[in-house]
C-alpha cells in the first residue's frame, strides 16, 4: 500500500481506479512528410471527426439551450468543410509536403488574418471561428482526449493541477474524486469540487506518480489521505467511514424544511453557491433557501466563443424558473486571475489577481457587459433575480455599472421585452477598498455579499492559489473578521442586507461569529446547507455574542 498525504478540500470517501488527466500537448511539431497521400487522408479523418463532434455539441446545445445556441456549432461545421479552407490545407500537404498539423496551423493563421482585416464586423468575427475549428482539428490530430478522460468506468482523477476551464468541462459522471499535485483550498477547482459534492485532495506534490495509473485507490477528502493499493484493514476502515458519512447525511435529511434559526430565535438565510443552471438540482435537494452566488463566468468557461445573449438568457432563465420564487443572485462575469478564457485574448499580466479582471473587464469592454445584462434582465421575468458585481473597489465603478443596467432596461422597455423592474442590485465586497468604503457603497446598492476568498487574499496579501503559504493564509485572521463586522455595520446603518458567499460562510467554527456580527445571509456549497443549519439550530446567540465581539473588537482581545 502506498500512503500519500495531501490537503483535503472537499469531504467524502471514494474508491476506484486512479487515472491521470490527459492534457492537450499543443506544441506544434513541424516536419516534412514523404507519403503526402496518407498525410492528406490523416487530415481528412480528423476533419470528419471534428464535424461529428460539432454535430454532437450542436444537438446537446439544442436540447439545453435551443436552436440559436446550436447554430454556433453548425456554423463551425460548415467552416470545417469550407472548400477554400480545405484547398489551402491540401496544397500545403500535397504540394509543400507539410505535415497535417503544420498545414492546419498555417492555414488557420492565414484565414484568421484575412477575416480580421475585413471591414465588415460579421466577417471579422469569423476569425475566431476559424481559429476555434482549427484548434479542434489540431486536438484530434494530436490525439488529445476531449474532456481529459477516456475511461468507461468512473475514476479517481489525478492531475498536476486543473484550471477552472478544465474542471468545468470534465464529464462529472466519470469522476469519483480529484487528487492534484498543486492547488489550494480556495482555488476555483476546489470550490467546484465542493459544489459538485466530489471528494478532493490538493497539494500532494510529486508523491502521486504516473506509474500508479489504473491501480485501485481510496481517497479520504476529510483527512487529505490517498491510498494506492490499499490493504484490507485500510479498506475496511474507510468503507466503514463512508458508511457513517452516508448515515450522517441521512440524519441531516431530517433538517429539510426546517428554519435556520438559533435556539433563542435569531434567523439567518442559508443560500447556495452554484456554477451552472444544472446545479440548481442540488440546491433544491439540499433545501437551499436561494442562490446567493451564481458564478456566471463558468458559462463562459464552458464555451469556445463568447456566449451570445440568447444562450445566456436560456441558462439564466432555466436557473430562475427552476428555483421558482426563491431568490437567485447572479454575479456578472468574473474572469481574469486564475479564470482565463482564451477567446477573450487578454494580454499576459505579471500579477493577474491584481490585474484586468471581473468588473474591470466589463467596464472596459461594455459590449460584453451589455450582452450579459440584457440576458439577465430578460431572464428576470421568469423568477426572483438579484444581480451583483464582482471586484468592486470604487463608488464610480458601481455607478457606471448601474448606469448600464438602466440603459439595458430602457432598451428592453422600448423593445417591449418583459423584465422585472425590481431586480435587486448588489456588489461583492471582496477588496479591502470596498470594505473600507462600505459606508458610501451602501448608499448605491440593495445588498452586499462578502467574497471572503478574495477579501482574505487581498487583506492578508496572500495569494489564494498558493498552497505553500500555510499559516500565513488565515481566513480567521482578525483583520478579515473586523472588516466583515465593519461591512455589516455600514450595511445595516444604511438599511441594506449583507451576506457572505466566500468559502468561509460554510466554516462551522465561525458560524457563531457571523451570527454575532449580524450577517443576514450565508451562501455555501449545496452540500454545506444542512450541516450549517444544524450548527445554527444548536446555537444560543445571546450566550456567545458578547464574548465573541469582545474578542474581536475589545482591547484585551486574544488576537
Instruction: Report, as residue numbers or ranges, the catalytic residues.
Output: 188, 501
453 binds ligand PEP (CB under 6 A): yes
Task: Give the burial string for 537-551 (b: 16+ CB within 10 Å, else e).
Answer: eebebeeebeebeeb
Residues 390-429, one symbol each (x = binds Mg ion by CB under 5 A, - = not), give ----------------------------------------
Q: Could you write out the DSSP letters of every residue in 291-312?
A: EEEEETHHHHHT-SS---HHHH
CA distance 143 to 51: 16
Residue in 412, 481, 501, 552 binding ligand PEP, rule: CB under 6 A: 501
**All 3 cell numbers of residue 114?**
484575412
Comparing CB distances to Mg ion, the nearer of 144 and 433 is 433
CA distance 550 to 539: 18
Comparing CB distances to ligand PEP, the nearer of 380 and 453 is 453
Residue in 454, 507, 512, 521 binding ligand PEP, rule: CB under 6 A: 454
Size of the site for ligand PEP (CB under 6 A): 11
CA distance 493 to 486: 11
Question: How big is the chain by its Cα radius of gyration, in Å?
Answer: 25
Residues 255 to 274: which contact ligand PEP by CB under 6 A? none
Comparing CB distances to ligand PEP, the nearer of 101 and 454 is 454
Select the binding partner of residue 524 from ligand PEP, Mg ion, none (C-beta < 5 to 8 A, by kind): none
For residue 86, which of 67, 100, 69 has the smallest C-alpha distance? 100
Comparing CB distances to Mg ion, the nearer of 288 and 502 is 502
Closest approach, Cβ 451 to Mg ion, in A, equals 4
291 binds ligand PEP (CB under 6 A): no
184 binds ligand PEP (CB under 6 A): no
Residues 94 to 153: which contact ligand PEP by CB under 6 A? none
333 binds ligand PEP (CB under 6 A): no
Residue in 10, 225, 262, 452 binding ligand PEP, rule: CB under 6 A: 452
Select the binding partner of residue 307 from ligand PEP, Mg ion, none (C-beta < 5 to 8 A, by kind): none
- The answer to whether 130 and 343 are in contact (CB under 8 A) is no
Closest approach, Cβ 310 to Mg ion, in A, equals 28
- 3-state SS, 471-485, equals HHCCCCCHHHHHHHH
Comparing CB distances to ligand PEP, the nearer of 375 and 501 is 501
Residue in 106, 161, 310, 334 binding ligand PEP, rule: CB under 6 A: 334
Residues 357-396, one symbol each (x = binds ligand PEP by CB under 6 A, - = not), give ----------------------------------------
Contact region with ligand PEP (CB under 6 A), list: 9-17, 151-159, 315-323, 451-459: 451-459
Comparing CB distances to ligand PEP, the nearer of 340 and 407 is 340
CA distance 306 to 553: 47
Select the binding partner of residue 502 from Mg ion, ligand PEP, none (C-beta < 5 to 8 A, by kind): ligand PEP
295 binds ligand PEP (CB under 6 A): yes
Comparing CB distances to ligand PEP, the nearer of 6 and 451 is 451
* Half-sphere exposure of residue 167: CA atoms within 13 angstroms, side-chain side: 30
Sheet holding 13-20, edge to edge: 2-5, 225-228, 216-220, 13-20, 155-159, 175-180, 200-202, 7-10
Comparing CB distances to Mg ion, the nearer of 379 and 434 is 434
Closest approach, Cβ 124 to ligand PEP, in A, equals 32
Angle at 163 between CA 159 and CA 167, to 5 degrees: 75
- The answer to whether 473 and 464 are in contact (CB under 8 A) is yes
Comparing CB distances to ligand PEP, the nearer of 112 and 392 is 392
- The answer to whether 482 and 506 are in contact (CB under 8 A) is no
Residue in 101, 314, 444, 454 binding Mg ion, rule: CB under 5 A: 454
Closest approach, Cβ 255 to ligand PEP, in A, equals 25
Q: Could you write out the DSSP letters of every residue in 125-144?
A: HHHHHHHHHHHHHHHHHHTP
Residue in 502, 515, 517, 535 binding ligand PEP, rule: CB under 6 A: 502
Select the binding partner of residue 295 from ligand PEP, Mg ion, none (C-beta < 5 to 8 A, by kind): ligand PEP
Residue in 426, 432, 451, 531 binding Mg ion, rule: CB under 5 A: 451
> Closest-CB residue for Mg ion?
454
For residue 290, which of 168, 383, 195 has the smallest C-alpha distance? 383
Angle at 511 between CA 425 and CA 245, to 5 degrees: 110
Comparing CB distances to ligand PEP, the nearer of 326 and 464 is 464
For residue 453, which of 9, 5, 6, 8 has the smallest C-alpha distance? 9
For residue 46, give Cα distances in angstroms to 133, 385, 399, 467, 505. 11, 44, 50, 40, 48
Angle at 33 between CA 29 and CA 36, to 5 degrees: 125
397 binds ligand PEP (CB under 6 A): no
Axis-axis angle for helices 529-537, 232-253 (nearest 10): 60
Contact region with ligand PEP (CB under 6 A), list: 433-441, 449-457, 491-499, 526-534: 449-457
430 binds Mg ion (CB under 5 A): yes
Angle at 386 between CA 491 and CA 320, to 5 degrees: 150
Residues 225 to 254: which contact ligand PEP by CB under 6 A? none
Where does this chain bind Mg ion (CB under 5 A)? 430, 451, 454
Where does this chain bind ligand PEP (CB under 6 A)? 191, 293, 295, 334, 430, 451-454, 501-502
Amino acid at each position: 500500500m502506498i500512503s500519500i498525504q495531501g490537503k483535503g478540500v472537499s469531504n467524502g470517501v471514494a474508491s476506484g481506479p486512479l487515472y491521470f488527466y490527459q492534457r492537450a500537448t499543443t506544441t506544434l511539431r513541424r516536419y516534412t512528410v514523404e507519403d503526402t497521400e496518407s498525410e492528406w487522408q490523416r487530415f481528412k479523418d480528423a476533419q470528419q471527426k471534428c464535424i461529428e463532434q460539432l454535430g454532437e455539441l450542436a444537438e446537446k446545445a439544442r436540447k439545453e439551450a435551443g436552436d440559436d445556441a446550436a447554430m454556433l456549432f453548425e456554423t463551425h461545421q460548415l467552416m470545417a468543410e469550407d472548400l477554400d479552407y480545405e484547398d489551402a490545407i491540401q496544397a500545403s500537404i500535397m504540394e509543400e509536403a507539410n505535415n497535417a498539423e503544420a498545414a492546419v496551423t498555417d492555414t488557420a493563421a492565414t484565414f484568421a488574418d484575412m477575416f480580421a482585416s475585413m471591414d465588415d464586423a460579421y466577417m471579422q468575427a469569423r476569425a475566431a471561428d476559424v481559429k476555434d475549428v482549427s484548434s479542434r482539428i489540431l486536438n484530434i490530430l494530436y490525439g488529445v482526449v476531449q474532456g481529459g478522460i477516456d475511461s468507461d468506468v468512473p475514476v479517481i482523477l489525478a492531475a498536476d493541477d486543473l484550471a477552472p476551464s478544465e474542471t468545468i468541462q470534465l464529464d462529472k459522471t466519470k469522476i469519483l474524486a480529484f487528487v492534484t499535485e498543486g492547488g489550494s483550498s480556495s482555488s476555483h477547482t476546489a470550490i467546484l469540487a465542493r459544489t459538485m459534492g466530489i471528494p478532493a485532495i490538493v497539494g500532494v506534490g510529486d508523491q502521486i506518480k504516473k506509474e500508479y495509473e489504473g491501480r485501485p485507490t481510496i481517497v479520504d477528502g476529510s483527512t487529505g489521505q490517498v491510498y494506492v493499493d490499499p490493504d484490507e484493514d485500510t479498506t475496511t476502515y474507510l468503507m466503514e467511514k463512508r458508511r457513517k458519512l452516508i448515515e450522517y447525511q441521512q440524519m441531516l435529511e431530517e433538517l429539510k424544511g426546517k428554519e435556520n434559526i438559533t435556539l433563542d430565535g435569531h434567523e439567518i438565510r442559508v443560500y447556495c453557491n452554484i456554477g451552472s443552471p444544472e446545479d440548481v438540482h442540488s440546491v433544491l435537494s439540499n433545501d437551499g433557501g436561494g442562490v446567493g452566488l451564481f458564478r456566471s463566468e463558468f458559462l463562459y468557461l464552458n464555451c469556445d466563443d463568447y456566449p451570445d445573449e440568447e444562450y445566456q438568457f436560456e441558462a439564466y432563465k432555466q436557473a430562475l424558473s427552476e428555483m421558482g420564487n426563491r431568490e437567485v443572485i447572479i454575479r456578472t462575469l468574473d474572469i481574469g486571475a486564475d479564470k482565463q478564457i482564451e477567446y477573450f485574448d487578454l494580454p499576459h499580466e505579471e500579477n493577474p489577481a491584481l490585474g484586468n479582471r471581473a468588473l474591470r473587464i466589463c467596464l472596459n469592454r461594455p459590449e460584453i457587459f451589455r450582452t450579459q445584462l440584457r440576458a439577465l434582465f430578460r431572464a428576470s421575468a421568469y423568477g426572483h433575480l438579484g444581480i451583483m458585481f464582482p471586484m468592486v473597489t470604487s463608488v464610480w465603478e458601481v455607478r457606471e455599472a448601474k448606469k448600464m443596467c438602466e440603459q439595458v432596461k430602457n432598451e428592453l422597455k422600448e423593445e417591449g421585452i418583459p423584465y422585472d423592474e425590481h431586480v435587486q442590485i448588489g456588489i461583492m465586497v471582496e477588496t479591502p477598498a470596498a470594505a473600507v468604503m462600505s459606508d458610501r457603497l451602501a448608499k448605491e446598492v440593495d445588498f452586499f455579499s462578502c467574497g471572503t476568498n478574495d477579501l482574505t487574499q487581498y487583506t492578508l496579501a496572500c495569494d489564494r492559489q498558493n498552497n505553500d503559504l500555510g499559516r500565513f493564509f488565515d481566513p480567521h485572521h482578525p483583520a478579515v473578521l473586523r472588516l466583515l463586522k465593519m461591512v455589516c455595520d455600514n450595511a445595516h446603518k444604511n438599511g441594506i442586507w449583507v451576506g457572505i458567499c466566500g468559502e468561509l460562510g460554510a466554516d462551522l467554527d465561525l458560524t457563531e461569529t457571523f451570527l454575532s456580527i449580524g450577517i443576514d445571509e450565508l451562501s455555501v456549497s449545496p452540500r454545506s446547507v444542512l450541516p450549517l443549519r444544524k450548527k445554527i439550530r444548536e446555537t444560543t446567540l445571546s450566550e456567545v455574542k458578547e464574548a465573541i465581539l469582545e474578542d474581536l473588537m475589545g482591547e484585551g482581545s486574544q488576537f
